Amino acid sequence: MALKEHLIELRNRLFVALVALFLATVGGFFLYQPVLQILIAPVNAMGGEVNFGSVISPFDNMIKISVFLGLVMSSPVWLYELWAFIVPGLKKNEKRTALAFIGASVPLFVFGLGLAYWVLPHALTFFLGLTPTQATNIVEVDTYLNFVIRLLLAFGVALIVPVLMVGLNLVGILPGKVIVKNWRITVFLICLVAAMAAPGGDALTMFALAGPLLVVFAAATGFCVLHDKRKAKRLAALEAENAATAGNASDIDTL
């Protein structure tokens, strides 16, 4: 498509994704209280306290958590719109690939959120452990929720990338040999992203994110390489069959 058509496509995809996000955010308001209790539970378990530092802080954080929940609940929609923008004009088999992409991405996104929540107490142990014994750590809820939401989203989004790699390989955009050729750069970027996502440079959080990412990346790379080999064999067999058919037709014409 021309640049103008790409921009129109992007606008339409963004509009659909934002509408889905808005509707899911409205639903997130009804889940605000239980989700907030779940998010602050690790602080309470560590003996800390969460403090609302201003009059409007509860309302601000209600919006923040609702948008976060909206992002999670609308993930099937915005993930599909992302895929449809990257691979426009889907054919029938590519539409099946898109559905498979969504079917794998959403569970991995949710798994990443769960993994981040599992890591959260370990990160809090490190940070709250630095509090002097004669002091009480009263955590500002704004700062804490920013920290938690960033951690959750970093884990969730990071686990989608390998699935995106496989999807792009299936539709012929990303060959496996390109991934293998640049594996060192990819491993470095994974570790870099994990280090940036780890709050305060916490090593445990970094390894907890980098480990599953490297495993999923290795599995995705292996799948892409095997898929390319099978595709090459099918093409070679088809070319041999066509050559044999053409040779037989030539012999008949000669007779």
Residue 163: predicted pLDDT:
80
Query: Quick one: CA dihedral 170, 18, 39, 137, positive or negative?
Result: positive
Which of 102-111, 141-150, 153-162, 186-195 is predicted with the least confidence, judged by mean pLDDT?
A: 186-195
Q: Which residues pair with 50 in a beta bridge?
A: 139
Which of 17-26, 212-221, 229-238, 242-251 is predicted with the least confidence, judged by mean pLDDT?
A: 242-251
Residue 95: predicted pLDDT:
66
Q: What is the pLDDT of residues 104-119, one digit of tens each?
A: 888 888 888 888 888 8
**Tokens 């044999």 label which residue?**
244
Query: Quick one: CA dihedral 182, 184, 190, 196, positive or negative?
Result: negative
Q: Are the C-beta atoms of 194 and 206 separated by less than 8 Å? A: yes
Q: What is the pLDDT of residues 51-91, one digit of tens each?
A: 887 888 888 889 999 999 999 999 889 888 887 777 765 56
Q: What is the pLDDT of residues 4-57, one digit of tens each?
A: 777 888 888 899 999 999 999 999 999 999 999 999 888 888 777 788 878 888
Rounded to the nearest integer, the mean pLDDT of the chain is 79
- Rounded Cα distance between 118 and 124, Å, is 11
Q: Are the C-beta atoms of 49 and 136 separated by less than 8 Å? A: yes
| Alpha helices (H) along the chain | 3-29, 32-45, 57-73, 75-86, 92-128, 141-158, 161-170, 176-181, 183-197, 203-254
Whether the model clears a pTM of 0.75, i.e. scores above it, the answer is no
When pLDDT is cut at 50, 70 and 90, the band that residue 247 belongs to is low
Residue 15: predicted pLDDT:
92
pLDDT at 238 over 90: no
Q: Are the C-beta atoms of 116 and 152 separated by less than 8 Å? A: yes
Average pLDDT over residues 196-221: 72
List, in order, residues 6 or more apart from 196 with CB less than 8 Å away: 154
Secondary structure in 3-state letters for 43-101: HHHCCCEEECCCCCHHHHHHHHHHHHHHHHHCHHHHHHHHHHHHCCCCCHHHHHHHHHH
When pLDDT is cut at 50, 70 and 90, the band that residue 2 belongs to is low
Residue 73: predicted pLDDT:
92
- Rounded Cα distance between 109 and 155, Å, is 8
Q: Are the C-beta atoms of 72 and 27 separated by less than 8 Å? A: no
